[in-house]
Chains A and B, each alone.
Chain A
Amino acid sequence: MTIQGQLGQEQIAWRAAQDIEDGAYVNLGIGFPEKVAAYTIEGREPIFHTENGVLGFGRAPAKGEEDWDLINAGKKAITLKPGAAFFDHATSFAMIRGGHLDVAILGALQVASNGDLANWRVGDKGVPAVGGAMDLVNGAKRVAVLTDHVTKDGKPKLVEACTFPLTGVGCVTRVYTSLAVIDVDIANARFVLVEKLAHLSMDDLQSVTGAKLHVEGDVGELEVPELS
């Protein structure tokens, strides 16, 4: 079935940004999750971490102003905010694995109701590349995922068990999708619906979700501004 009025990536990123607290240390995955930084809430100051050894970076520099010694994990040029710090790779992953990072936000191929995440490899073809994803999902205090609710050909990305190679087991605690915000109750291996788009019925949402959506108390309305 076709779902009308799905959220775009900017809107999913906006919604995820609402949950980032003042002073939180945050790592945003390469690509889609990087968009979260643009929607930092006025009055809150998260500190962004990148695996290659920077805390406290800011926006991309103007074209022509790049310094290629100053990049993020996606190899894009960045700028520093006052109070930034550099460190080596072992220290960087001590921050991650040691539980010092408050939030890691990643993309996903599949998320299972037991919190398993698959996001690094589709099958056994081509060149595998993992980067820091497996460290991030095992280290951050909170691991959130941003994703379209279904694949391009309409298959659920929220499933009972991942079929793609795993990035980590029992690690994802919240999923922001194009249709809903869903918590993962890892201990009981179940998805708990937090918010859904107002125009979407429970049945329609369940029909595009590969595992049962549990409801505890009120389900909030997923309200997001128009964003380009």
Chain B
Amino acid sequence: MNKRFATAAEAVADVFDGATVMIGGFGGSGAPIELIHALIDAGPKNLTVVNNNAGNGHVGLAAMIEQGMVRKLICSFPKSKDPKAFTDRYLAGEIELELVPQGTLAERIRAGGAGIPAFYTPTAYGTELGEKKPTAEFDGKPYVQERWLKADFALVKAELGDPYGNLTYRLAARNFNPLMATAAGKTIAQVSRLVEAGGIDPEAVVTPGIFVNRLVEIANPRQEEVLNQAEARYP
């Protein structure tokens, strides 16, 4: 078994036009910048992207949006220090937004990975984000039905990876990454260090390798926040 790919470009080469792509991270923390930039180089169009945010500045997801690759964004908080890439296109009607409460977004992805087509949550009941969705009462309390979310590809960022695809994460960069890894047809992980089998304590594995299809080692990955402070642009 070898899930290892030599380059980010090879790992994302088959992302096709119209695909749904989950991208891990919360703001810049845990955002797989190198995989996103490789995807920009590959240039698929009409993508539906699932991320908590909508990019910041002119790198990563914001750069994907600037390149016109994103038809629809599913997220909870499309604002940031520099949200211009998304905001301009949204206000011009050039990009569709499905706004989802953050916990519902997380659970929809979890459900997608766990084979649960729908679930009920109290979140958004009685609000405009709960409108037109089935509701039901359980033990006297009203809930909104939400559906699973799945993707063709997930791009995730991890700290350690081994040849079997087992992953660990660094600090709060975990966030959506382990969930998205479970919910995509092909999960592509960039890892800061690829270790031998046995190099990760089985008790410390966060994402078991069954959820991971491809691994690329990106030593010293770039941070969106640091790139933005340097006013970087991609490409």
Using a CB–CB distance below 8 Å, which chain A residues touch chain B? Answer: 50-54, 66-71, 75, 86-90, 92-93, 96-97, 116, 126-135, 138-139, 165-169
Task: Name the residue of chain A whose CB is nearest to the CB of B27.
Answer: A75
User: Which of B27, B80, B122, B206 contacts A71 (CB under 8 A)?
Assistant: B27
- B27/A169 in contact, CB under 8 A: no
A68 touches B29 (CB 8 A): yes
Q: Is there an interface contact between B174 and A169, defined as CB atoms closer than 8 Å?
A: no
CB-based contact A69/B129 at 8 Å? no
CB within 8 Å of A: which residues of B? 26-30, 52, 76-81, 83, 86-87, 90-91, 97, 99-107, 109-110, 121-129, 169-179, 206, 223-226
Contact A93 B178 (CB under 8 A): no
A92–B106 CB distance below 8 A: yes
Q: Which of B79, B169, B173, B178 is A129 in contact with, Cβ under 8 Å?
A: B79
Q: Which residue from chain A places its CB closest to the CB of B173 in the assembled complex?
A: A69
Q: Are B223 and A68 in contact (CB under 8 A)?
A: yes
* Pair count A-B, CB < 8 A: 146
Q: Establish whether residues B178 and A88, one from each chain, have CB atoms under 8 Å apart when the complex forms.
A: yes
Alpha-carbon distance A138/B30, docked complex (angstroms): 27
Q: List 24 A–B pairs whose Cβ atoms lie within 8 Å, in order of A's numbering.
A: A51-B102, A53-B26, A68-B28, A70-B171, A70-B172, A75-B27, A86-B169, A88-B206, A93-B103, A93-B106, A93-B107, A126-B91, A127-B87, A128-B78, A130-B76, A130-B101, A133-B101, A134-B123, A134-B124, A134-B127, A134-B129, A135-B103, A135-B104, A138-B123
Task: Say yes or no: A53 contacts B172, CB within 8 Å.
Answer: yes
Partner of B226, one of A68, A70, A75, A166: A68
For residue A213, give the distance in angstroms from its CB to the closest CB of chain B.
Answer: 25
One of A67, A97, A130 near B122 (C-beta < 8 A): A97
- B residues in contact with A68, CB < 8 Å: 28-29, 223-226
Query: A68-B28, A87-B174, A129-B79 are contacts. A135–B125 as well, Cβ < 8 Å?
Result: no
Q: Verify A52–B125 contact, CB threshold 8 A.
A: no
Please tell me if the beta carbons of A127 and B79 are within 8 angstroms of each other in the complex.
yes
Task: Report Cα–Cα, A181/B121, bound state, in Å.
Answer: 31
Docked-complex contact A132 and B102, CB < 8 angstroms? yes
Give the residues in chain A near B124, CB-CB below 8 Å.
134
Cα of A19 to Cα of B226 in the assembled complex, Å: 38
Asked if residues B78 and A53 are in contact (CB atoms below 8 Å), the reply is no
Chain B residue at minimum C-beta to C-beta distance from A50: B172
Assembled-state Cα–Cα distance A75/B83 (Å):
14
Q: Closest CB of chain B to A158's CB: distance in Å?
A: 19
Minimum CB–CB distance for A174 against chain B, Å? 20
Most buried by A among B27, B174, B223, B226: B174
